[in-house]
């Protein structure tokens, strides 16, 4: 029996989606304010999250609910490893550390994979469909803000195995709608998707401190240069 899970996920997570976009880090990102140190920490966090997700989804490829959405074309781990190599060098595995928020996210993925695998659908939808939908816009913003060339450090946003984003999203949503679940399970999946947004927001909030420090450092340098040049004019934001 179809429960129109795709539309329920879209409408049921709208508030969480808006809240995530309004976090300081994402808000600044969308305005083109991107600190490379904060961004590479985010890439490292996402690598831990996607490694956990793809490990568990891979184990559940024959699961009646998880299996139908386990599209190999969506895999992000390899792309993130390319980006980590760019930001941290060849020895990136020994340099990155999982942040507390990312660790909580990873633990949640492993927990539900063991206790209630169906709920992984909520996390899968939240991350992958979001990446596919806004990836090119975010890539362009990050590229300009950090003055990056081509795909350097931005492979995460490239879905090389997907030729037509719109067509693929239609296929993905159809798979969601055809999952063998009842309304009670659909409600649980939507609730878990909202929790996934909450976990993402915690990662963003961790990065806000680094971003504020970076902006403060730039502003301090600007003020210092003005003082050295003898200007006493007020700074206008």
The whole-number pLDDT of residue 5 equals: 98
CATH for 5-228 is 1.20.910.10
Residues 99 and 40 sit within 8 Å (Cβ to Cβ): no
Q: What is the pLDDT of residue 1?
A: 55
For residue 156, the 8-state DSSP code is: G
What pLDDT, on a 0 to 100 scale, did the predictor assign at position 134? Answer: 84
Q: What is the CA radius of gyration of the chain?
A: 20
* pLDDT of 151: 76
Is-contact 129 162, C-beta < 8 A? no
**What was the pLDDT predicted at 225?**
47
What's the rounded Cα separation, in Å, for the pair 193 and 120? Answer: 9
According to the model, what pLDDT value does residue 210 have?
59
Per-residue pLDDT of the chain (237 residues; tens, 9 = 90+): 579 999 999 999 999 999 998 998 888 988 998 888 999 999 999 999 999 999 999 999 999 999 999 999 999 999 999 999 999 999 999 999 999 999 999 999 999 999 999 999 999 999 999 999 888 888 999 999 999 987 789 999 999 999 999 999 999 999 999 999 999 999 999 999 999 999 999 999 999 875 554 444 444 443 444 445 554 333 332
Whole-number Å distance between alpha carbons of 139 and 154: 6
Round to whole Å and give the CA distance between 18 and 194: 11
Domain ranges, ordered by start, for the chain: 5-228
What is the distance between the alpha carbons of residues 101 and 174, in angstroms, rounded to a whole number? Answer: 32
């Amino acid at each position: 029996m179809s429960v129109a899970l795709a539309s329920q996920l879209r409408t049921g997570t709208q508030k969480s989606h808006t809240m995530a976009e309004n976090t300081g880090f994402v808000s600044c990102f969308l305005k083109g304010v991107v600190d490379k140190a904060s961004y590479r920490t985010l890439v490292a966090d996402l690598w831990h999250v996607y490694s956990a997700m793809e490990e568990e989804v891979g184990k559940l490829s024959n699961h009646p609910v998880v299996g139908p959405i386990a599209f190999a074309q969506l895999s992000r781990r390899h792309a993130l490893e390319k980006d980590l190599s760019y930001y941290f060098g060849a020895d990136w595995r020994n340099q990155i550390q999982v942040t507390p928020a990312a660790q909580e996210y990873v633990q949640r993925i492993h927990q539900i994979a063991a206790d209630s695998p169906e709920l992984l659908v909520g996390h899968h939808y939240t991350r992958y469909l979001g990446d596919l939908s806004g990836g090119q816009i975010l890539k362009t913003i990050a590229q300009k803000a950090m003055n990056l060339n081509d795909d350097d450090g931005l492979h995460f946003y490239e879905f090389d195995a997907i030729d037509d984003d719109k067509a693929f999203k239609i296929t993905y949503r159809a798979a969601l709608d055809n999952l063998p679940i009842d309304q009670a399970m659909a409600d649980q999946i939507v609730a878990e998707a909202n929790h996934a947004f909450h976990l993402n927001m915690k990662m963003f909030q961790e990065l806000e401190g680094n971003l504020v420090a970076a902006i403060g450092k730039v502003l301090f340098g600007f003020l210092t240069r003005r003082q050295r040049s003898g200007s006493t004019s007020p700074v206008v934001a």
